[in-house]
Amino acid sequence: MTNKETVVKAMKAFFVDRDHTAIERYWHESYVQHNPSMINGHQGLRDILQFIEPGFQWTPGIFIEVNDIVLAHSQVHGWGPAPLIVVDIFRFENGKIAEHWDVVQEEVSASKTASGNAMTSFNYQNPDAK
């Protein structure tokens, strides 16, 4: 399994299926978290599971894999009052997610952008779509 495939499986298991056992399967035991609102390690992941509301949706978009790094661009509903666009950066070690950074912004419709372009103009339903 590629690192990109691991990210897709891990994120689906964790965020969509809310499977707490995914933490041990996909995240390194010394997981480092760079999101300022989360702590390092498996406990930080367990802590955020309690905040995932019913109706939460994670929709994968673009994935880029280079060596031990995977970048994921996705859309999230139910994390806040408005849909969010998230870019996650994952570093792998020994086949597991060892480190994470993210950039999060509220989704803006095409009609409200200076360019008239939507933030989500690619196929979110198929992470392999190019």
82 occurs within a structural domain: yes
User: Residue 98 sits in which domain range?
Assistant: 3-112
- Counting the structural domains of the chain, the total is 1
**pLDDT tens digits, 49-93:** 888 887 889 989 999 999 999 999 999 998 888 899 999 999 999
pTM of the entire predicted model: 0.87
Point out which residues pair with 84 in neighbouring strands. 76, 106
103 occurs within a structural domain: yes
How confident is the model over 114-125, as a mean pLDDT? 69
24 occurs within a structural domain: yes
By mean pLDDT, which of 12-16, 48-52, 86-90, 95-99 is the weakest?
48-52
91 occurs within a structural domain: yes
Write out the DSSP string of 74-101. EEEESSSSS-EEEEEEEEEETTEEEEEE
CATH number of the domain enclosing 75 = 3.10.450.50
**pLDDT tens digits, 21-57:** 999 999 999 999 999 989 999 999 999 888 888 788 9
126 occurs within a structural domain: no
